[in-house]
Amino acid sequence: MTDASGERVIAHVDMDAFFTAVEVMDDPSLRGRPVIVGADPRNGAGRGVVSAASYEARRFGVHSAMPISQAYRLCPGAAFLPGRMRRYGEVSGQVMAVLEGFTPLVEQVSVDEAFLDLSGCRRLWGDAHQTGARIKAAVRQRTGLTASVGIGPNKLVAKIASDLRKPDGLVVVAAGDARAFLAPLPIRRLWGVGPATEAALLQLGVGEIGQLAALDPAALAARFGESGRWLQRCAAGEDDDPVSGGRGEKSLGAELTFDRDTADREQIVRTLLELCDRVAARLRRQGLRGRTITLKLRYQGFETHTHRATVAEGLDETIGLYTAARGLLQAHGDRTRPLRLVGVTVTNFGGSGRPPDLFAADDPLRGRRRTVDAAVDTVRERFGRRAVVRARTLRRDAS
């Protein structure tokens, strides 16, 4: 979609330190203190990781995905909280409802961020700066929390812009300014540039996005193949990925980019189960069941394939979703090629449907699975996600 001038206007809304902000909102005594959501490092469960860190905790060097034991060494005086995913989901729902008041094209990409296609909305909300300010004010009024907003001609630019002035930031990039806006930024801000790619680009003397955009395309292709061409397009601020939102096109998903491309079937299958576990928990938290499962596989060179399957009855239990996704992997996955990324998305929602007792009566096995999932959700809500870990994600599975 484009606005009256023929240009796309895309916003990325990113809640500031969302998990910890919710905790502080619900317990004002935490205000001003370092707050870390994750396993408690003092009760024997210290092998978990940091799920979220407040800005006060980040000043000590704490960041998400850091081992909780390391976070404790850096900031022993922090408030370590187990996390309350159901509560975060409730607040997330409030945020998304606010965003849907601005445009029907809202693509929720995680519990605390979403893309909005605002093309054609100028008459309703004003120019990009005015619209961004309205969004931030509406989110704060509804939830009491702050959000950072980036607005640009595409998702890539909007995403980078939203991260530049956190917390409570607003950055607007006009379509004609996208390349100049990106040029001085470090290359690690680009999608697809992880530590290994960054190191390889630095060896070529490329440390800023503008240097990557100006690099000889032949040299870049010789070093990185097809992914080099894709990276150069990104460096030039080019991205035609649409905002896949709207009430008729909702989805829930999760994906993971491996630290190193891998063909290790055990690691891939273990990751697939972990992703299905996360997605299924979100489905249950929002009272949804989905009938269409999409498996996303990205190979070396950023070659991406998606494979879909539709089941007769909507799924919200972990093992049912995993079985469907695993079937897609077995049918379509290329065992000989290393994978860069794997993802699972569920669409085609039909709501929560029948009560659990009637569901169990129709299919005792699925009923038992739902009972187990409900118990796991309860424990995780109280003690954190790492309080219950599925055994198959820990042991070797050669199948």
| CATH number of residue 122's parent domain | 3.30.70.270
Catalytic residue among 23, 107, 113, 381: 113
**pLDDT given at position 23:** 96
Element housing 18 (H / E)? helix 18-26
274 is catalytic: no
Task: Please enumerate in sequence order all residues whose Cβ is within 8 A of that of 151, keeping only pairs 6 or more positions apart, or say none.
Answer: 9, 10, 11, 12, 118, 128, 131, 132, 158, 161, 170, 171, 172, 173
pLDDT of residue 355: 33
What residues in the chain have per-residue pLDDT under 70? Answer: 1-6, 43-47, 245-250, 301, 312, 350-399
Q: What is the DSSP letter of 44?
A: T
Answer yes or no: is 130 within a domain.
yes
Split into its structural domains, the chain has a count of 3
Sign of the Cα torsion 289, 294, 297, 302 reads negative
- Domain encompassing residue 36: 1-174
pLDDT confidence of residue 250: 65
For residue 245, being part of any structural domain is answered with: no
Q: What is the pLDDT of residue 147?
A: 97
Q: Give pLDDT, residue 244.
A: 73
> Is residue 292 in some structural domain?
yes
Considering the domain architecture, whether residues 230 and 288 belong to the same structural domain is answered as no
Q: Are residues 269 and 304 in the same domain?
A: yes
pLDDT at 191: 75
pLDDT recorded at residue 398 = 36
Whether the Cβ atoms of residue 213 and residue 183 lie closer than 8 Å to each other:
yes
pTM given for the model: 0.64
